[in-house]
Amino acid sequence: MRGFIVMAMFIVGLAHAGTKDYTEVRDLTLNAAGLTEFAIDAGAGSLVVTGVDGAEEIAVTATIRIEDEDEKDALKLIEKRLDLRLERDGDRAELESGFDSSWHWNGNATIDLDVRMPAGIALHVDDGSGSMTITGVMGDILVDDGSGSVRVTNAGSVTVDDGSGSVKINAASGDVYVNDGSGSIEIRGVGGTVRIDDGSGSITVDDVEKDLIIVDDGSGGLTYTNVRGTVEEDS
């Protein structure tokens, strides 16, 4: 049985006087007792996820921005096209954030997400576009990203499948795997093995406890230091 959104606060306002841009903020919370995994499916907009030791809930602040629309028209679009839900399905929490993909509109609608979650549960992110920052999540992290920069700090094991944009991972206690289309890759302070399959962009790796495996370094320079295991490079 699925549990539905608990909405703590709802704030509506215009972004700037004299413009048509519309901004709305919604806060959502969900009890985290018994959860083992948290899945985020996000469309356009930035994403910040912070793992919090001892947290008893997942808390989300969503900032909805719609360009070139006044309040009346923006509210109509939100009512018809917005999908913003924080739900529970057994031991898994799910956050859906985005606008109907069949909606063809010349303007720009984004949802910026600021998420706080228990540090110890697994995190799976499917993200469309926009920058992403994940900090302090010690469960397994899996990121499937379309475009935009990805930063992961103070984490457990990390897997990133990235279309375009830079990838930076710092202080991961487990293994790290990055499959990247384009953009620079920087990985530092890994307690396990690092595996990289890269299309284009520079690669910098430093301070790896186990092995470094370069499946494909594509185009761009490769620099690695302080690898205490073996190093395997594509030939």
Over residues 173-224, the pLDDT tens digits come to 999 999 988 899 999 999 999 999 988 889 999 999 999 999 987 787 899 9
Neighbours of 169 (CB within 10 A): 24
Q: How many domains does the chain have?
A: 2
Residue 13 in domain:
yes
Residue 225 in domain:
no
Residue 174 in domain:
yes
Neighbours of 19 (CB within 10 A): 11
Per-residue confidence (pLDDT) for residue 163, from 0 to 100: 87
Instruction: Write the CB contacts of 91 (distance below 8 Å, at least 6 apart in sequence).
Output: 34, 35, 36, 37
What's the Cα-to-Cα distance from 220 to each of 69, 177, 185, 198, 201, rounded to whole Å? 43, 18, 10, 9, 5
The verdict on pTM exceeding 0.75 is: yes
Same domain, 59 and 148: no
Same domain, 197 and 115: no
Residue 229 in domain:
no
Range of the domain at 72: 1-131
Residue 120 in domain:
yes
pLDDT in tens, 2-18: 444 444 344 444 444 44
DSSP category for residue 53: T
